[in-house]
A and B are shown apart, each in its own frame.
Chain A
Amino acid sequence: GAGVSQSPRYKVAKRGQDVALRCDPISGHVSLFWYQQALGQGPEFLTYFQNEAQLDKSGLPSDRFFAERPEGSVSTLKIQRTQQEDSAVYLCASSPGLAGGNEQFFGPGTRLTVL
C-alpha cells in the first residue's frame, strides 16, 4: 500500500521566490501534520489539520507560511518570499484518527534550499 508521498523531493529557490510543497497522505487518514527539520536538528511542528480544518498553526514561523487542505486529503504548504533561513527539510505526516494515541506516518520530506 502507498505511504505518505511528498513532492517535489528537492526544491531550490532564489531568495524572494514563492514555493509550494505538496503532501499526499495515506488515503482515509483524518489527521495531517507538517514539520520543519533544520540540518542537524529534530523536526519541529508547524501546523495540524483535522480533515480540512486547520486546528493548530502555532508552529508556523511567520505569516509568509501558509498551509491548506481544502478537501481533507492533499495538503499544500506554501512559503512566500522565501528567505535563506527557510532552508530545511519539510516533513508531512498523517494519522488515521483524531486522538493522540495513533502513530504518525511520515513522508520522505521535501528538502528546500534557498539561495
Chain B
Amino acid sequence: DAKTTQPPSMDCAEGRAANLPCNHSTISGNEYVYWYRQIHSQGPQYIIHGLKNNETNEMASLIITEDRKSSTLILPHATLRDTAVYYCIVRGGTSYGKLTFGQGTILTVHP
C-alpha cells in the first residue's frame, strides 16, 4: 500500500471548517483513500473513503485531486468533539484490507 504524508498537527476554531490534507503521491490505480480518526482512549473510527470521485457523508467530505496524488478531508462545522488524531490511509481494493496507519494529524478544535 502507498505511503501517506500528513501534517503532525492542526488547529481549528469551533464552528469553522477543518480541512485536513494528505499526500499520497505513489498511490496506484486500484488503491482507495480511507480516513479514520481516533479520539483519546478510544479505538479508531471510520470516517469516509474514496477512489477518485469526491465523496460526502454525514460526517465529512473527501476531495481527491484529479491526479489522485493528494486529498483533503473536510469537516464542515468542527465541534469540540472532533478533536482527535486523523489518519489518512491508502489501501488496496483487492486485498483483505489490513490498515497501515501513519502518524496522523492531531486536530485540536478550540472554543
Contacts and interface: CB of A to CB of B under 8 A. Distances in A.
B44 A43 contact: yes
Interface in A16-63: 31, 33, 35, 41-45, 48, 50, 55-56, 59
Interface residues of A, number: 29
A99 B97 contact: yes
A45 B99 contact: yes
A59 B45 CA distance: 21
A105 interface: yes
Contacts of A101: 32, 93, 97
A41 B103 contact: yes
A104 B32 contact: no
Nearest to B102: A42
A1 interface: no
Listed residue (B32, B92, B97, B100) with the most chain A CB atoms within 10 angstroms of its CB: B97
B96 A99 contact: yes
Contacts of B49: 103
A95 interface: yes
Contacts of A31: 96-97
A93 interface: yes
A58 to B, nearest CB: 9
Contacts of B99: 33, 35, 43, 45, 93, 104
Interface string B30-70: 00101000000111111001000000000000000000000
A82 B95 CA distance: 32
A109 B43 contact: yes
Given A44-B101, A101-B97, 6 more contacts: A35-B101, A41-B103, A48-B98, A93-B43, A108-B42, A109-B42
21 contacts: A4-B43, A31-B97, A33-B99, A42-B104, A45-B98, A48-B98, A50-B96, A56-B98, A91-B43, A93-B43, A93-B44, A99-B93, A99-B94, A99-B97, A100-B32, A100-B91, A100-B93, A100-B95, A101-B93, A104-B99, A109-B43
